[in-house]
Chains A and B, each alone.
Chain A
Amino acid sequence: MSTAAVAHAEETSLGQPHLKIGFWTFLGSECFFFGSLIATYMSYRGHSVAGPFPHHGPPHGTGILNIPVTSISSFVLLTSSLAMVLALAACQKGDRKKTSFWLCMTAFFGLIFLGFQAYEFTEFYHNGLSLTKNLFGCTFFVLTGFHGAHVSIGVLWLLSLFVINQREGIPVEKSLSVEIAGLYWHFVDIVWIVIFTLVYLIPD
């Protein structure tokens, strides 16, 4: 934030913007939300009686998770986080063109991730895995489905910021709005970091 912007920052009892405090509190609640979904998945892990199962190996046989494809989607989401932080850096410097570019790139990478998720969900469904098939299907689709919903909301948010920046520009004094969107996006990314490790990489 520039010196002028800081001088005009709101006076609060905590010395920090209310919006930022509130949003970090919200992210704390999201930790509980995703924590409960992950806890449920982990609790029921390995308890499915009938297939399809997530991983290879006896006694269950072949697994349904596609690690190479999900690795690529994980890389895409990580790259989108980089694009988001570059968008914020550009906005804080008052570079309107770069802000638009990086916001657009972040949303673009988010859409690619969602495409991978859609592909994965349809493949799993065609291979016999559904919400009601077994414990793995239920917990997997609820967990990754809610994550995908969060990514979708994030993409819409970023595209909205992109449109606002294109029409009237987001001044440096209002870069907090981009920062808040960035916090949401990075949170979605770190949730995926946890999901990718616990669900995909750690075998039963």
Chain B
Amino acid sequence: MADTLLEQETHDHPTPSTYVKIGVILTVITAVEVSIYYIPAMRGVLVPLLLVLSAVKFLTVVGWYMHLKMDPVIYSRLFFAPLLLATGMTVVLMLLFGHFFPHAKP
């Protein structure tokens, strides 16, 4: 048991400089998100682009800052299972309220 703990705890952790680089990347992505909001030519791809960029930020913070990438898989299961259920619930409710097919007849 102690060997398992030792093995799990001594795998490489990011250094402070890595965290700073990740912070810079997150800032740049945020700047890109805000910028494309104001570009009229991007309106056609705004929503999917924003969703992709925010997903990248989300997974970067979860994976690196919250250490899920380096930690045992049980933590990922404890987090992503409810997250996927909550996301599914949101999508279903939006479907019920007609957000994806606004012109569909009941």
Q: Mark A36-79, 1 if CB is under 8 A from B, else 0.
A: 10111011111100000000000000000001100100110011
Which chain A positions have C-beta within 8 A of B53? 197
Report yes or no: B82 in contact with A42, Cβ–Cβ below 8 A.
no
The verdict on A78 contacting B30 (CB below 8 Å), with A43-B93, A203-B46 known, is: yes
Expressed in whole angstroms, the Cα–Cα distance for A47 and B96 within the complex equals 13
Closest partner residue, chain A, to B62 (CB atom): A190
Residue B78 lies at the interface, judged by CB distance under 8 Å to chain A: yes
A-B CB contacts (within 8 Å), total count: 152
Which chain A positions have C-beta within 8 A of B54? 193-194, 196-197
Expressed in whole angstroms, the Cα–Cα distance for A15 and B87 within the complex equals 30
Closest partner residue, chain B, to A187 (CB atom): B66
Contact of A39 among B8, B30, B79, B90 (CB under 8 A): B90
Contact of B20 among A67, A82, A196, A202 (CB under 8 A): A82
Report yes or no: A71 in contact with B1, Cβ–Cβ below 8 A.
no
Nearest chain A CB to B37 CB, angstrom units: 5
Which chain A positions have C-beta within 8 A of B23? 78-79, 81-82
The verdict on A86 contacting B99 (CB below 8 Å), with A25-B78, A32-B85, A35-B90 known, is: no
Residue A20 lies at the interface, judged by CB distance under 8 Å to chain B: yes
Nearest chain A CB to B15 CB, angstrom units: 8
Nearest chain A CB to B97 CB, angstrom units: 4
Which chain A positions have C-beta within 8 A of B47? 202
* Among A5-13, A113-121, A144-152, A160-168, the stretch in contact with B: A5-13
Report yes or no: B99 in contact with A42, Cβ–Cβ below 8 A.
yes
Residue A201 lies at the interface, judged by CB distance under 8 Å to chain B: yes
Report yes or no: A190 in contact with B2, Cβ–Cβ below 8 A.
no
Expressed in whole angstroms, the Cα–Cα distance for A190 and B15 within the complex equals 21
Contact of A24 among B1, B30, B37, B75 (CB under 8 A): B75
**Interface pairs A-B: 6 shortest CB-CB:** A35-B86, A28-B82, A82-B23, A197-B54, A39-B90, A24-B78
Interface residues of B (CB under 8 A from A): 1-2, 4-6, 8-10, 13, 15-16, 19-20, 22-23, 26-27, 30, 33-34, 37, 46-47, 50-51, 53-54, 57-58, 61-62, 64-67, 72, 74-75, 78-79, 81-83, 85-87, 89-90, 93-94, 96-97, 99
21 inter-chain pairs at a CB distance below 8 angstroms, sorted by A residue, are A1-B9, A9-B9, A11-B2, A21-B74, A21-B75, A31-B82, A31-B86, A32-B82, A35-B86, A43-B99, A45-B99, A68-B34, A78-B23, A79-B23, A81-B23, A89-B13, A92-B13, A186-B66, A190-B61, A197-B50, A201-B37
Interface residues of A (CB under 8 A from B): 1, 3, 6-7, 9, 11, 14-16, 20-21, 24-25, 27-29, 31-32, 34-36, 38-40, 42-47, 67-68, 71, 74-75, 78-79, 81-82, 84-86, 89, 92, 179, 182-183, 186-187, 189-190, 193-194, 196-197, 201-203
